[in-house]
Structure 1
Amino acid sequence: MCKFKPVNPKPGKTRVQALCAFAEPTPAGVSEELWKLVNNMNQDAVAHAVRSDWCIMEMGKHLYNKHGFEVDKHEYIRQKLRELGRLCIRGGEVTNMKTIKEYVIPANFMQTVDAVKHTAQGKKGNSKSLPLKLGHSLKRMSMLLESDAIIKGDKDAAEEARAFRSLYDAKWHELVSVTSLKSLNESKWNAPQLLPFTADVQKLHNYLDEKQQQYQHDLKSEASSHNWATLAKVTLAQVILFNRRREGVMSHYRGSDCIRQFVQLCDVKNPLSLTSTRLRKHMATLSKVLNLQETELDQLADFMGHDIRVHRQFYRLPEGTLQLVKISKILMAMEQGRLADFQGKSLEEINIDPTGMWFLLKSIL
């Protein structure tokens, strides 16, 4: 088998372009693995810009040396390279710069700012995070160029790269980042907090269990590729729903697509809340009410694949919800004549047991 054969070639014209790209000899100084990764992306003008720009390929080598051994990071590498490729194309519409190397020349700094802003305003709308990502990539690019210049003994080029970083540190936040961060924060403020309803999650569990038994029976009755595929999809959805982990890039089926397909079929109240990402947040958020010890919370965060600081900062119930739960328990205690249980305690000192908390959350969420 040809080692350059695409893993999942796209149909039609894109597939033909990909195969043609694989037929090209690997450029000098570029590993076969990186060349294969680059040619596995969509074969369009952006891919051509990536392959033809020396600096972008140098960034590719840097990222592949750092993350290439992790297959699930390959898409991240392609994304970073495509971002720079889009900058090269879109930036050429408003500046006279043709290569990424020109974007990190100090004298071109204001042109670079204009190009980044123009690139973020693409055909698919204004990307609020792209200017931040491109800024980080350009700063990293200046570091790579400085290292290359030092190795070659080119003091002027090394100094030029350092000068770009000085400008970046002094002016980028003011000219680019502050606007992007403001837009991102406003989007978060205005976005509704969609967490899965407990009843919807239970309904999805039951639906998947029912379909698993049906598809197992179908496969035993007729060993066809269709029956195997339907069972594989429902099994993948069950694994993601049970583990609340990120989906892998090691399968022919996308876990998020499988979840979305079965959510649409099981007639839940709020299908938009039942995505793989929101299901992860659902578990992490509700775990905050269990009064877990430090080590236990750390184990949960590790299982979910993120740092404990991320768990605390981003996966937490809003304070209003926590306070509502505690106040609801006080009201229930008053109704049951057990208010003395909380005598002398503030809201922060009230510990909610998991059973009672689960009952309250079912009614609230």
Structure 2
Amino acid sequence: MGNFQPNCSVTKSGKGQIIPKRQATYPAAASDYFPCKFCFAMYVKSDLWRHHKHCKLRSKEDIATRNVQASSSMLLPTNTVISTGLQTVLQEMNYDNVTQLLKADSLIISLGERMFLKNGEVGPHRADIRNKMRELARLVLTARNIDKDIVFLKYLICPGKFNTVLETVKQVTGFNAVSNRFTVPSTALKLRHSLVKVSCILQGEALRQENLDLKSKAQQFVELIELEWSTHVSSNALKTLYQKKWNTPQILPLSEDIKKLQDHLRNLEIVHKRNLNDQPTQHSWSQLSQVTLTQLILFNHRREGEVSRMELRTYLERSTHCKYDKVWRAFQHLKKNFVRISPE
């Protein structure tokens, strides 16, 4: 810790010299060193995973993370304040120049914080938070190559930089000027919503700071999106999506294939139930849970998220009252075998 505190000061100020645990055999910058989250010693980030395996201060309870560099980078000081919840999301990212930029960009971090407050406790939504933040970070990195005045995302939320934003979006999404088609049309549509969100966040910050000029720029940027985004981006992106759907054949399953799948799932259910009763293990419980989830998804013919995110409490506290008595009486014979759960 005696070396870690000065190293943090050097990293934050950009002045001084890093004190590593071992000197690199090749020229290395201060940004190439990351601290170990167990012993806080500084190692070259490419060798950090090797040290993690044999660190003497690592206990048996410490679970090895997949992205060692991302988790270790969270120990270094940053100019932006990141909550503990969002840090758990960022630790799952691959550490690269995109991750490095979004950690330093306060506006992208603010978007991530707000998304985490809404649905951060749900596992599948964490991937969506990471994707949104990385999309904006890639946008800023590409914009830097077009306009040298761009440093962070805040510099793009300005009516004078709207043309730069349009050009940057086209480069990020692989726009072909000859055919007027996008390589990644879905990203082009998503960036519009993300830019509107960060513009609203910037308006809120401007109101807190009583900065009328910043608030006006953010409002005018949103107005430009409403007026011109459809012509320059959305229309061609939607055309690209529709064209891909036209050329994609729709394959329908045969009835005998569905029957085979249902029979296979029933057999697996019987096997895993027997295994769970005879010798209860985590593996048997996990296999039975996956089979049950698959059966529910197939039976409901709906999205898997509607079933996978349902809690046991929701099932136990389900309503047994039906508002439509005539319909309920028509399906009385189904009541003995099936339970319907719906929000009131």
Unaligned runs of 5+ in 1: 252-291, 297-301, 306-365
Task: Provide the C-alpha distance between the structure 2 equivalents of 1:31 and 1:179, rounded to a whole number of angstroms.
Answer: 38
Task: Provide the C-alpha distance between the structure 2 equivalents of 1:129 and 1:139, rounded to a whole number of angstroms.
Answer: 16
Task: Provide the C-alpha distance between the structure 2 equivalents of 1:8 and 1:140, rounded to a whole number of angstroms.
Answer: 36
1:73-152 correspondence runs (5 A): 73-96=125-148, 97-121=150-174, 126-152=183-209
Among 193, 215, 223, the residue aligned to 1:166:
223
Asked whether the 8 Å contact 1:9–1:18 carries over to 2, the reply is no
C-alpha distance 64-223 of structure 1, shift in aligned 2 (>3 A):
closer
C-alpha distance 115-212 of structure 1, shift in aligned 2 (>3 A):
same
- Comparing both structures, which one devotes a greater share of its residues to helix? 1
TM-score w.r.t. the length of structure 2 is 0.61
Task: Provide the C-alpha distance between the structure 2 equivalents of 1:142 and 1:8, rounded to a whole number of angstroms.
Answer: 39
C-alpha distance 107-236 of structure 1, shift in aligned 2 (>3 A):
same
How far off is 1:178 after superposition? 1.2
Corresponding pairs, count: 248
How far off is 1:57 after superposition? 0.7
Question: 2:291 — aligned with what?
Answer: 234
Question: 1:260 — aligned with what?
Answer: none
Q: Does 1:56 align with 2:108?
A: yes
Q: Which segment is superposed worse, 146-155 or 240-249?
A: 240-249
1:1-365 correspondence runs (5 A): 11=66, 15-24=67-76, 29-68=81-120, 70=122, 72-96=124-148, 97-121=150-174, 126-218=183-275, 229-248=286-305
Asked whether the 8 Å contact 2:207–2:215 carries over to 1, the reply is yes
How far off is 1:134 after superposition? 0.6
Question: 1:89-113: per-residue Cα shift (whole Å, max 9, x none)?
Answer: 3333444333211221211111111
Unaligned runs of 5+ in 2: 1-37, 39-61, 176-181, 309-326, 332-339
Task: Provide the C-alpha distance between the structure 2 equivalents of 1:132 and 1:107, rounded to a whole number of angstroms.
Answer: 22
Q: Which segment is superposed worse, 21-30 or 209-218?
A: 21-30
Asked whether the 8 Å contact 2:202–2:215 carries over to 1, the reply is yes
TM-score w.r.t. the length of structure 1 is 0.58
Asked whether the 8 Å contact 2:112–2:133 carries over to 1, the reply is yes
Task: Provide the C-alpha distance between the structure 1 equivalents of 2:262 and 2:125, rounded to a whole number of angstroms.
Answer: 30
Question: 1:231-263: per-residue Cα shift (whole Å, max 9, x none)?
Answer: 444343333323444435999xxxxxxxxxxxx
C-alpha distance 139-40 of structure 1, shift in aligned 2 (>3 A):
same
How far off is 1:152 after superposition? 0.9
Relative contact order, higher structure (CA 8 A, sep 6+) = 1
Question: 1:5-32: per-residue Cα shift (whole Å, max 9, x none)?
Answer: xx99753xxx211330343468664322
How far off is 1:130 after superposition? 0.7
RMSD: 3.6
1:114 counterpart letter in structure 2: E
Asked whether the 8 Å contact 2:269–2:291 carries over to 1, the reply is yes
Asked whether the 8 Å contact 1:245–1:304 carries over to 2, the reply is no
C-alpha distance 50-250 of structure 1, shift in aligned 2 (>3 A):
farther
Task: Provide the C-alpha distance between the structure 2 equivalents of 1:87 and 1:155, rounded to a whole number of angstroms.
Answer: 26
